Structure formats: structure tokens, C-alpha cells
Chain A
Amino acid sequence: MNAPAGADVADVAADGAIRSLNPSIRTIWTIKMAAFSVLLFLPALFYDLTHLFSSDAWLPFGALSGTVLVGGVLYCVAWPRLRYRAWGFALRPEELYMEHGVLQHVRTIVPLRRIQHVDVSQDLVEREFALGRLVVHTAGSRSSDVVIPGLPLSEAEAIRDKIKRFILEDPLTEEPV
């Protein structure tokens, strides 16, 4: 055997080669979170305005909408940075390695051999920044689709093609499941 098991321990979880996402993903996340915060803020504001002159108001004016506003702004500012910092991935010869998660740290290895198909998708905001996201489908039950967001579209496509090539060239003809 030319590749003894111990020789490449490092490449299972080596930190050196781990890449971050494209930094503009932070802006995209901020935009999406801001939209979400506004959706929460409007009802709060509505409640505050409608109870402006009511005698039995148990909250001072602006307490609810103010809290939501401050919380929303903090969320939009801090969360994308934290999330960006937690994200990392690496496409290695035989596997896709990734780690992410702010509250819940997750490390995942997807063997390329196990990938059923790969998509590159892009939504409206991502299109403005020329970013795409790579969606990898496996037959695993809980992790049937694994997503890497915030890749430049060309790079996402390059990764997709590398994975496709790996699957096409696989000398084993057995079915994946």
C-alpha cells in the first residue's frame, strides 16, 4: 500500500489549508438580517404607535420598538462577522472539509465519493455581489444537503467541476448507496 493510513493524518483536519469565504458574504448576510429585523421591527412599532395614548399601557412608549431596533442593529452588525469568522472549508483530493457555526460549532467531512450531485445557486442579493453558493447533495439522512455560501461564482463552479470530475473518473462502478 503506497498510502499508509498514518502518513496523512494532517490532511483530515489541517488548519493550514482551510480557506475562508469571500468577505463580501458579510454584507450579504447583513442585508438579509436587516430585512429580517425590519420585519420584526414594524409590528413592534405598530404596537407602540397604537398604544401611544392608551391609558393602560404597561410599557413606556418606544420600549418595545426600541429594544427590537437595538437588538436588530446589534444582530446585523455582529452576527455576520462572527459567522464569517467561524466559516472555513477546504476541497481536498478526496474530501470536502468544512467547519462553521457560531453557537454550535460543526465540522464536517464529505467524502467526494459520497456526493450524489452538486448545484451552484445564487439568489437576488448574491447576484449583485457575484457570489454563488455550492450545494452538495449526499444520500446521508441528516446531512442530505451541505451548503457552502459566499463563494465567487466562478470559484463555486470550479469546485463543482472538480467534484464532477472526481465522480466521473471514479474507477469503482458501484452505486453510491
Chain B
Amino acid sequence: MPPSPTESNSDGRPDASPAPDRPAGEEKEEEPAPTGAGEAATATTLGAVREPQRLHPLTLLLRVGASLPALVIILLPLLRNPGSTENVTSLVLGVLYGVFALPAILLQYWRFSYRITPKQIVIQSGVLNRKNRSIPIERVQNIQIERNLVARLFGIAKVKLETAGSTSTEGSLEYVHQDEAQKIRQVVRSFQRGSQEAEAAASADAEDAADTETLLDMSLRRVLLSGAFRFSLLYLAVIFTVLELFNPEALVERVLRAQGRVGWVSEVIFSHPALAILTTVVAAVFLGWVSGIGVHVARYYDFRLWLDGDKLRKRHGLFTVTEGTVPLDKVQALILRTNPFMRAFGWYELKVQTVGLDVEEQGHRVIAPFAGAGRILELARQVRSVELPESFAHVSRLTIRRRFIRYTAVWAALLLPTVYFWPADWLHLGGVVLPWWGFGLVPFILGWAVLQYQNHGYAAGEDGFYIRRGVLSHYLWILPVEKFHVFHTTASIFQRRLGLKTLFVDTAGAATFAYPEVIDVPAAEADAQFGALYRRFRQLYRTRVEAATGAPDTRLAPDERPHLPVDEPPS
């Protein structure tokens, strides 16, 4: 429920009109006493952002800075060869840039404003094409504050507003003063809570004084340790970037100059191909390991998760500090992830699935990057009631056969063309062309299928549906009954021959890959679960309706029903 404007002033100030044209007087008293000053602070925060606000002036500087590379490229001929008559065009372009681009940045800044009323956040932008975007306060699901290295140097921050309905950031304030960013968050939150809880809001506004419950703190050692369990392929990107920046030919030339050693190395490689492959693998693993640590430290340095009312908040990052919110009741599913190494030492990662989809995290927000099993369960219970089932039901054993046949068929489809087109003068091993040896991997395919079968299971608990899946990346999905959306069973033509079905329960915002479906359940069992899960869902909502209305019958009497414009035609 959005608070009505007149109620939102908790401290009894008489005026509360959200109208944009109210006198600016008291609202310009920008400086709230540093958070924690109780009522006075609340009073100013509640009113302060209601007047249209501009972004931080330093935004101008940053935007001009961001456009400078373009200017350099335009003026490059002139810089290389000053005084030549041929670079008139680049000079003209440079002047055009000065005439148009710089004023455009200035105008954009000038014409961008935002204000926060008790009901909505209004962002106006655009020079020629005016855009007036208003986001209802109660729909704001996450206010993310991002501060990259430059922003931290200048003490400014980027504020991203996310709503449940959209798949991307709904509004972005780039940049505001970092205190202002915190204030926006507090104001929105106090409006969301409404006036009846204003007292609580006022006290919670002082929360940065650390009176909230910290759920997880990660020391640098812990972050380093967690990185050590991860791999990242980021180094490949780095290598390619380096090759882009530095001319590859120059590199080769330099290598050739040190010819003696190169010759030795290449000789070794050619005489011992197995050794070369081994070295490459070891180097790749080592680089992946090191860059995994690097990526993890950059992302999760100083990770802190704390509970703030009905929201989880977290802050982390080495260069770019990100601060985000996850409303507890918007959590659609819990995902526990681990890999064989982490599992061997009892470490897990906890993510939650939300709808305000963050593209980088695929709708999944990491709640705990790295923690022991007990701690993870404790955290999960903060979000939802979780009762890990004692045992998981296996899917049918026939799944091994199906997977084995399918993977082998795919592998054969890849290998056979290479056998056919393998040039006669290429490597032949043991009298046959090399790709035939690829079929030596078939036993491993069988092993893989068995592992997949062993790691795949499901359990229907009282409060949710639990699905386990994955060999290298081991997932456990916890789907709460109240967040079930659509129920499916599917049976392909091959599955029907074996009497198998695939069962899945759709939830909002689920990723499109690595999906919690239960593959190859015996058909009768799948149908029973299908019905049972739906009945559990329906029962939950029937109970809720009964609690809300006091009557088991959810429907209104026919004469009390609201009448729709289109009436039911006679069938």
C-alpha cells in the first residue's frame, strides 16, 4: 500500500503535498545532521528530495572525460602531422565536436532532474525529446548504489533503481553525491514503509550506526580462500586484449630475436607432444586459478551482508563498491551452489533468485559467496523456512542409458566428419586417422552419465520443492511452495518409449539455462508429483484466502461480483 501523501510526514509537519511547485524554502536545507540524529534527520530526509534535483556537478567532468577519446581520434591526423593542409576535415570535425558535443553534455545535464515524492520517483530527462519517467515508490525493489574507482575518488555514486516488472534497470542516476545516494535510499524506504511504521523507519534511518543485524562478514583471508576454489577464464580475455593493444607482429619479431631459446623450446614441443600438452594444461589451470582469485577478490572484497527490516542488504567490491538490496518477500527461489573441491571441504555459495533481473547476475543475487554448510543454512533460513530433506529421490536409472546414447551420438556426429575429411598426410596413430581414437572417450561418457544420474535428485518437502543437479557445478534449488508459478510435465518421443517424464515447476525470474527440472522420472511418479505439488500450492493459497476473508469460499456471491464491461456471451 502506498502511503497517502498526507500521512507520510511522521513528525507532524502539516504540509505534505507532493506537488512539484511547492515553495522550496525549508527543503533546501540540504545537510541532514549525519545519520543517527533521529527526528531532525528524518524530517529533513523526508522532505529533502521532493524538489527537482540535479545530478552532481562532477558528472559533467566525467562525461566530458568519457567523450575525450572520441575527440582524440578525430584530431589524430592533426596531431600526427601538424601544419599539413590535408587535415582540414579533422579540424572541422574537432570544431563541430566543440560546438555540438560539449553543449549537448551540458544541456543533458541541465535538463536532467529527479525528485522523490511519497508516491513516486520522477526522473525527467532529454533535451529535444523530453522523457518523464515516474516509478511508483512501492514498486521499487532494489536501489543499487555503485561506486567505481573514479566515483570513489570524487565521493560520488551511481544509483540504479530496479522494479519487479522490468528486465533491466528502470532508472539510473549517474552520478549523485554519495551522501545523497544513501539519503535517496533512506527516503524511499521510509516512504515504502508508510506512516504507520514511521517510528520504526525513523529508528532504522539511523541504521548505519550498525544497529542492524550483520549476517555475514568476509575477511580478506576468507575472500582469498573462496577465490582459490574458483576458476575464471578471464585471463583469456586479458590475453586477447593484450594482443589487440600490442601489435602481434612486433611480438613475434621480438620472439624471433631471441631465436636460440625459441628453437630449443619448439624442438622440445615437437619431440614430446604429450609434454607440450601437459604444460599447456598446467599453465591454463594455473592462470585460471590465479585469475579466479583475482576476480573474486575484486568482486567480493570486504563483503558484508546484513538484515535491515524485511530486506537483505549487502555491500562488497574492491574497485567498484556495489551496494544492493534484496527484499525478502521478493525472493523466488534459493540456490545453493558448490563444486567438487568446495564440497570436499564443506564450502557452499548461496544465491537467491529475484525478478528484478540483474543482467550480470542472470536474476540471481549472491547472498553468500562462500561459507560453511551450517552458516549457509542459517542464512537460507533468514530468507525462507528451509528444512533440508533427509534424502533425495533418484530419477529412473534409465536416464543413464538415455544420456549415454545421446552424448555418444553427439560425439560421433562430431567425430565422423573429421574422420572422413582427415587429410592423408596428417597424424595417423596406430594405422588409423587420429579422430578414431576419439571414440576411446566413450567409457568416460558412460562414467559421466552415471555421475549425472547420481547427482540428480528431488524431494518434495512441506514448504518447498528441492532439486539437486550438476556434476562439476553442483546446484541445489529450493523452490518455496508460495512462489510456484506454472507446472509442467513433458515426455519426448524417446522418453515415452521408456515410460519416463520430465517434471518442472516454473518460477518467476528463473535462468534459462541450468534450470531446475527433474529429468527422466518414471511417468507415474512424475504425474503423482505433478498433481501433489500443484495441490500443495493450491492448499496453501486456500488457507491464506481463508485467513484473509474468514470464509473458505473465495468467490463473492454472484450479485456482489464486480461487473465487467464484456458479459459472458451465451455459449
Chain B associates with chain A: yes
Chain A residues within an 8 Å CB radius of B556: 169
Contact with A along B531-571 (1 / 0, CB 8 A): 10011111101111110110010111000011010111101
Q: Say yes or no for A2: interface residue by CB 8 A criterion.
A: yes
State A19–B94 Cα separation when bound (angstroms): 70
Partner of A111, one of B492, B511, B534, B566: B534
The answer to whether the Cβ of B488 comes within 8 Å of any Cβ in the partner chain is yes
Which of these, B492, B493, B512, contacts A142 with CB under 8 Å? B512
- Give the interface centre of A12, A108, A110, A141 by most chain B CB atoms within 10 Å: A141
- Count residues on chain A whose CB falls below 8 Å from chain B CBs: 44
Which of B45-53, B411-419, B502-510 lies on the face that meets chain A?
A: B502-510
Please tell me if the beta carbons of A138 and B485 are within 8 angstroms of each other in the complex: yes
Chain A residues, CB < 8 A from B510:
140-142
Chain B minimum-CB-distance residue to A104: B492
Residue of A nearest to B556 (CB): A169
In contact, B569 and A158 (Cβ under 8 angstroms) = yes
B486-545 contacts to A, CB under 8 A, are 486-493, 496, 504, 506-512, 515, 527, 530-531, 534-539, 541-545
Residues A158 and B534 in contact, CB atoms below 8 Å apart: no
Question: Could you tell me the distance between the alpha carbons of A102 and B248 in the complex, rounded to whole angstroms?
Answer: 55
Residue in B330, B490, B504, B552 whose Cβ sees the most chain A Cβ within 10 Å: B490
Contact call B534/A12, Cβ cutoff below 8 A: yes
Instruction: Confirm or deny: B164 has a beta carbon within 8 angstroms of a beta carbon on chain A.
Output: yes
Instruction: Flag if B568 contacts A158 (CB, 8 Å).
Output: yes
Q: How far is the CA of A8 from the CA of B536 in the complex (A)?
A: 12
Question: In the bound complex, what is the Cα–Cα distance between A164 and B544 (angstroms)?
Answer: 20
Q: A12-B534, A172-B544 are in contact. Are A140 and B549 (CB under 8 A)?
A: no
- Residue among A114, A157, A177 with most chain B CB within 10 A: A177
Verify B508–A139 contact, CB threshold 8 A: yes
Any A CB within 8 A of the CB of B332 = yes
In the bound complex, CA of A95 to CA of B566 (Å): 21
Residue from B355, B487, B491, B542 in contact with A104 in the complex, judged by beta carbons closer than 8 Å: B491
| Contact indicator B549/A171 (Cβ below 8 Å) | yes
Contacts of A169 in B (CB 8 A): 554-556, 561-562
- In chain A, what residue has the closest Cβ to B551? A171
**Bound state CA distance, A3 and B508, in angstroms?**
28
Within 8 A of A (CB), among B449-496: 484-493, 496
In the complex, whether A127 has a CB less than 8 A from a CB of chain B is no
How many of B's residues come within 8 Å of A, CB to CB?
Answer: 53
Q: How far is the CB of A175 from chain B (nearest CB, A)?
A: 7
Q: Which residues of A contact B484 (CB under 8 A)?
A: 111, 114
Bound form: Cα–Cα A108–B545 in Å: 24
A138 to B537, CA, bound (A): 16
Nearest CB of B to A158, in Å: 5
Complexed CA–CA distance, A151 and B361 (Å): 40
- Which chain B residue shows the least CB distance to A176? B508
User: Which residues of chain B have C-beta atoms less than 8 A from A157's C-beta?
Assistant: 566, 569
- Give the chain A neighbours of B555 by CB distance below 8 A: 169
A103, A146, A162: the one within 8 Å of B486 (CB) = A146
Which residues of A sit under 8 angstroms from B536, Cβ to Cβ?
5
Q: What's the Cα separation between A2 and B549 when bound, in Å?
A: 14
Question: Does A154 sit at the interface, judged by CB under 8 A?
Answer: yes
A67 within 8 Å of B by Cβ? no
**Interface presence of A109 (CB below 8 A):** yes
Q: Are B534 and A139 in contact (CB under 8 A)?
A: no
Q: Return the contact of A177 from the options B332, B486, B549, B552 (Cβ within 8 A).
A: B332
| Binary CB contact string for chain A from 123 to 156 against chain B (1 if under 8 A, 0 otherwise) | 0000000000000001111110010000000110
Which A residues, 21 to 68, have Cβ-Cβ distances below 8 Å to chain B?
A: none
Q: Is A15 an interface residue (CB 8 A)?
A: no
Docked-complex contact A108 and B487, CB < 8 angstroms: yes
- Given known A-B contacts A141-B507, A141-B512, A168 and B534 have beta carbons under 8 A apart: no
Is the Cβ of A177 less than 8 Å from the Cβ of B541? no
A94 B538 Cβ-Cβ under 8 A:
yes
* Residues B544 and A2 in contact, CB atoms below 8 Å apart: no
Q: Roughly how many angstroms separate A8 CA and B538 CA in the complex, as a whole number?
A: 11
CB distance B534 to A114 under 8 Å?
no
Docked CA distance A1–B547 (Å):
11
| Chain A positions 82-105 with a Cβ under 8 Å from a chain B Cβ | 94-95, 101, 103-105
Contacts of B507 in A (CB 8 A): 140-141
Bound form: Cα–Cα A142–B568 in Å? 31
Q: Collect the chain A residues with CB atoms within 8 Å of residue B492's CB.
A: 103-105
- Tell me, in angstroms, the Cα distance from A172 to B538 when the chains sit together: 13
Q: How far is the CB of B142 from chain A (nearest CB, A)?
A: 14
Partner of A172, one of B488, B530, B548: B548
Please give, as numbers and ranges, the residues of chain B lying within 8 Å of A9 by CB-CB distance: 531, 535
Closest CB-CB distance, A45 to chain B, in whole Å?
30
Residues of A within 8 A of B486 (CB): 108-111, 114, 138, 140, 143, 146
**Which chain A positions have C-beta within 8 A of B543?**
1
Contact of A5 among B508, B539, B544 (CB under 8 A): B539
- 7 tightest A-B CB contacts, nearest first: A140-B506, A139-B508, A140-B485, A12-B531, A141-B510, A2-B552, A109-B487
- Provide 30 A-B residue pairs closer than 8 Å at the C-beta atoms, listed in order of the A residue: A1-B546, A2-B552, A3-B552, A12-B535, A95-B538, A101-B490, A105-B491, A105-B496, A106-B488, A106-B490, A107-B488, A109-B486, A109-B488, A111-B541, A138-B485, A139-B485, A140-B485, A140-B486, A140-B506, A141-B511, A142-B512, A143-B485, A154-B571, A158-B568, A161-B566, A168-B562, A168-B564, A169-B562, A170-B554, A171-B545
| Known contacts A103-B492, A110-B487, then 18 further A-B pairs from the complex at CB < 8 Å, ordered by chain A residue | A2-B552, A9-B531, A12-B534, A106-B489, A107-B489, A107-B530, A108-B486, A111-B486, A138-B506, A139-B485, A140-B508, A141-B507, A143-B486, A161-B566, A161-B567, A169-B555, A171-B549, A177-B332
